[in-house]
Amino acid sequence: MAMPRKIKVTCDDVFPYGAFAVSAVTQVKDFDRSTKERPVYSVDEETGLPIWSVDVMDGDIDARKADKTVSVKILAKVQPVLPPMSPGMPFTPVVFEGMTATPYVAENNGRPRLAWSFRATEVRAPRNAKQAAA
């Protein structure tokens, strides 16, 4: 089958009502290779780029509680910088470029469900106020 493991998506496909950063961007640890004394950080197998992570809240008010906040992994040579907070906003509106979605089965108390892992190549501010308010 020619179906790719990683499916190309846009930020609007994943977050049609907007995405809001609710954490700092942090480097992802490789827990299998790290020790208590020496942390080792994850790199993408295909590109060799370091993997960074940011927690994002979905702007969809009807999203299920379990799906409201997700982590988006960002592949970048240096630590991505979030855009500045918008005045009057409790969270930072963000847009991701170069997104992919990878499906997997998540086990939750013996109840398997389809889940998604999201990756991107860039994080930036929305281009206009309409996107930030969406």
Please state, in angstroms and as integers, the Cα–Cα distance from residue 46 to each residue in 6, 49, 70, 75, 78, following that order: 12, 8, 23, 11, 17
Report which secondary-structure segment, H or E, holds 19. Answer: strand 19-21
Torsion angles phi and psi, residue 132, rounded to 5:
-65, -35
What pLDDT digit, counting tens, does each position of 95-124 carry? 999 999 999 998 888 889 888 999 999 999
3's tokens = 């179906």
In a domain, 94, yes or no: yes
In a domain, 1, yes or no: no
| Reported pTM | 0.86
The number of folded domains in the chain is 1
In a domain, 126, yes or no: yes
Q: How many CB atoms lie within 10 A of CB 88?
A: 5
102's tokens = 């990878």
- Name the residue range of residue 124's domain: 7-133
What pLDDT digit, counting tens, does each position of 49-75 carry? 999 999 999 999 998 887 899 999 999
